[in-house]
Chains A and B, each alone.
Chain A
Amino acid sequence: MAVLVTIGALVLAGGIAGCQKRIAIDDRPPETIAVRYVPADGYSDCLVASAVMCGNYVLDSQRLAPRDVRSAIKAAGGDATRVGDMQRYLAGQGLRMVPLRGRFSAEPPLGLAWWVLGRGYPMICVINRHAGNAEYNHAVVVVGFRPADAARGEMRVYLLDPAAPKRLACWDRFLFEHYWGSAGWVMLPIFEEPRAPRSGGSAQTGGRP
């Protein structure tokens, strides 16, 4: 009997240890935005890597390099982990980053799905796995969505995590929402500085093309 209990406990312990492993997919699914992955070089480079991924995608070039971004922000007396300093740096590159508190919906202009699916922008989202402790804020880039089960309509979120050993992760929607909400629903859209004013739709009313 004791042997059976021991066997059960060991298998259960192995199961728990195995459950800590998270899926990561290297092939890009067609419903994701083709963003070139940039890994974080250090323990505090997630925002730099995420901004470089989104900035280069928007510019359709590889103009931004993590090392240059870090150096430039540091030379200006800033901190590359701070949203405000990153915002200032990107403004000098012809890019605008507007920090917003988003929501998981397709409603413009604060809906994450609206930005990703409706407008085609990869979105930096700040997540936190340790709710209540802002020191653990972590930047990831959301690049798409897909239903996990068409019958039940569950949704999953594709994201690029600069700190992950594998590049493209696929999270359950509610897991993502939990972590995102723990960081205050902060999302950081990056887009090219508008060149000339035009009459017509606005972001407030949707601005759908």
Chain B
Amino acid sequence: MRAIAAGLTVLFVLGVTAVSAHADVIGQPATVRSSASPGGDIARPPVRPLPITAEQAAALESISHQPDQAVPPDTCAAYSPKAEKIATEASAVGFYAGYFGTLAAILISAAPL
């Protein structure tokens, strides 16, 4: 029975490794797939950015002040607020607790009576 438990642990590790390698190849979580056509022609971008003229810049500023286009200046982009960091740490603790708990349960149930 202990051999079976050890085998199960190996299978679990192999499962993680195999699917991780597959994710590296396909590049995306399997739940997100698409079938629509692209939004434009695929091309290589210019080697250097093409200059924006004063008229173009003024037009962009004008667009950016339209009510449906305005982005509030207090819009923030922060990598990871403390709440997410704490949540990440908590989920990591939960993951490892569940992992080792599961292993312990398997080993206990597989032990000879």
The range of chain B's interface size is: 35 or more
Contact B78 A81, beta carbon cutoff 8 Å: yes
Verify if A64 is at the interface (C-beta below 8 Å from B): no
Q: Which of B57-93 contact A (CB under 8 A)?
A: 57, 59-64, 68-69, 71-85
Given A18-B19, A83-B73, A99-B75, do A119 and B33 touch, yes or no (CB 8 Å)?
no
A62 within 8 A of B: no
Once the chains bind, are A15 and B57 in contact (CB under 8 Å)?
A: no
Q: Which of A60, A163, A198, A202 has the most CB of B within 10 A?
A: A202
Q: What is the distance, in angstroms, from B17's C-beta to the closest C-beta of chain A?
A: 7
User: Which chain A residues (171-209) contact chain B, with CB distance < 8 Å?
Assistant: 171-175, 178, 184, 186, 189, 191-194, 196-204, 207, 209
Which residues of chain A come closer than 8 Å to B77, judged between CB atoms?
Answer: 46-47, 50, 81, 83, 126, 137-139
Q: Does B28 lie within 8 Å of A145, measured CB to CB?
A: no
- The 11 sampled A-B contact pairs (Cβ below 8 Å) are A11-B12, A18-B16, A18-B23, A22-B29, A23-B27, A96-B57, A109-B59, A120-B47, A134-B75, A203-B55, A203-B57
Name 7 extra pairs, CB < 8 A, besides A31-B45, A100-B71, A130-B84.
A45-B79, A79-B76, A83-B77, A98-B64, A120-B47, A152-B35, A202-B56
A47-61 contact mask (Cβ, 8 Å, vs B): 1 or 0: 100100000011010
The residues of A that contact B54 with a CB separation of less than 8 Å are: 194, 196-198
Q: Is the CB of B68 within 8 A of A207?
A: no
Q: Which residue of A lies closest to B15 (CB)?
A: A14
Query: Are B32 and A99 in contact, CB atoms less than 8 angstroms apart?
Result: no
Interface residues on A, range: 35 or more
B52 & A194 in contact (Cβ 8 Å cutoff): yes
In the bound complex, CA of A148 to CA of B68 (Å)? 33
A138 touches B39 (CB 8 A): no
Query: Do A100 and B29 contact each other (CB < 8 Å), given the known contacts A45-B79, A119-B50, A138-B79?
Result: no
A66 at the interface (CB under 8 A from B): no
Instruction: Point out the residue from A19, A109, A173, A194 that lies within 8 Å of B30, measured CB to CB.
Output: A19
Residues from chain A with Cβ under 8 Å of B14 in the complex: 11, 14
Q: For window 19-50 of chain A, which residues contact chain B by CB distance below 8 Å?
A: 19-23, 30-33, 40, 42-47, 50
Q: Is the CB of B60 within 8 A of A203?
A: yes
Asked if A198 contacts B53 (CB within 8 A), the reply is yes
Residue in chain A with minimal CB distance to B52: A191
Q: Determine if A156 and B81 form an interchain contact, defined as CB atoms under 8 angstroms apart.
A: no
In the complex formed, the residue of A with least CB distance to B106 is A6
Q: Which residues of B contact A50 (CB under 8 A)?
A: 77
A153 and B15 in contact, given A100-B60, A194-B51 (Cβ under 8 angstroms) = no
Q: Does B112 contact A (CB under 8 A)?
A: no
Kindly list chain B residues whose C-beta atoms are within 8 Å of the C-beta of A207. Answer: 52-53, 56
Taken together as a complex, chains A and B put the C-alpha atoms of A105 and B54 apart, in Å, by: 24
Distance, CA A41 to CA B32, complexed state (A) = 30
Residue numbers in A under 8 Å from B41 (CB-CB):
106, 117
Check if B46 is an interface residue, CB within 8 A of chain A.
yes
